[in-house]
Amino acid sequence: MGNIFTSSIGKKLIMSISGLFLMIFLVVHLIANGTSLISPEAFEAACEFMSMPLIKIMVPVLAAGFVIHIIYAGYLTITNLKARGNERYAVAHTGNSDSWAAKNMFVLGIIVLGFLAFHLTHFWAKMQLPEFLGQEAEDPNMLMEQIFGSLYFTIAYIVWFIALWFHLSHGFWSAFQTLGANNSIWLKRWQVVAQVYATVVVAGFIIIALNAYLKANGII
């Protein structure tokens, strides 16, 4: 077991699996937030569902997934920089390995992590965390209006989502390549799936943010 966590291949496998796990969470999060496009009542119901005991159990699991992904990503990046200089990611098929996203995955990850911290302090800390402590959570619709009512915060979130798109569009197919889907046929297929996945997820979050901004400012 020790070799799995310490070997170079093992670290890449763990980072890939943890990354795919977090990508699944993003879809769940998107669906839950997407209910705000339906009605305030639907969004409140989705937030109540996310506060169920079964979902609460997943919180430390998700936190562990983020920590593991960040630690291994940082370690591999530092190792690659020392071994190859500026060539940060080595892949068997170099067609898309020289893309801007591939060369800046660690920087993109830092941007995503920074805004994630902001997101947690403005939403999770005021909704799920109080419930963990036996306190009353703030109204989710009010929080949406407070945050996205600001043009500055709305633009900041959109920038975050764009950085997330680049991170996901490369990370998705790269994870499957690490897991063995690295022949020329399947690699191209996973690259297409990665583009579709990243676009749907990021476009969905941007639409939710813009909708919240327009509602908070009485435009719609």
Percent of the chain scoring above 90 in pLDDT: 33
Residue 174 in contact with residue 195, Cβ under 8 Å? Answer: no
Residues 90-141 pLDDT 10s:
444 444 445 677 677 777 788 888 888 888 888 888 888 887 777 888 999 9
Residue where the block lists tokens 């889907």: 181
d(CA 54, CA 151): 35
Residue 174 in contact with residue 118, Cβ under 8 Å? Answer: no
pLDDT score of 70:
77
CB atoms within 10 A of CB 101: 20
CATH of the domain at 26: 1.20.1300.10
Per-residue pLDDT band at 88 (split at 50, 70, 90): very low
Q: DSSP secondary structure string, the chain?
A: -HHHHHSHHHHHHHHHHHHHHHHHHHHHHHHHHHGGGT-HHHHHHHHHHHTSHHHHHHHHHHHHHHHHHHHHHHHHHHHHHHHHTT-----SS-TTTTSHHHHTHHHHHHHHHHHHHHHHHHTGGGTHHHHHTT-PPPPHHHHHHHHHTSHHHHHHHHHHHHHHHHHHHHHHHHHHHHTT--SHHHHHHHHHHHHHHHHHHHHHHHHHHHHHHHHHTT--
Domain containing 112 equals 2-216
Q: How many domains does the chain have?
A: 1
pTM of the model: 0.80
218 vs 63: which has the higher pLDDT: 218
181 vs 127: which has the higher pLDDT: 127
Rg (CA), the chain: 19
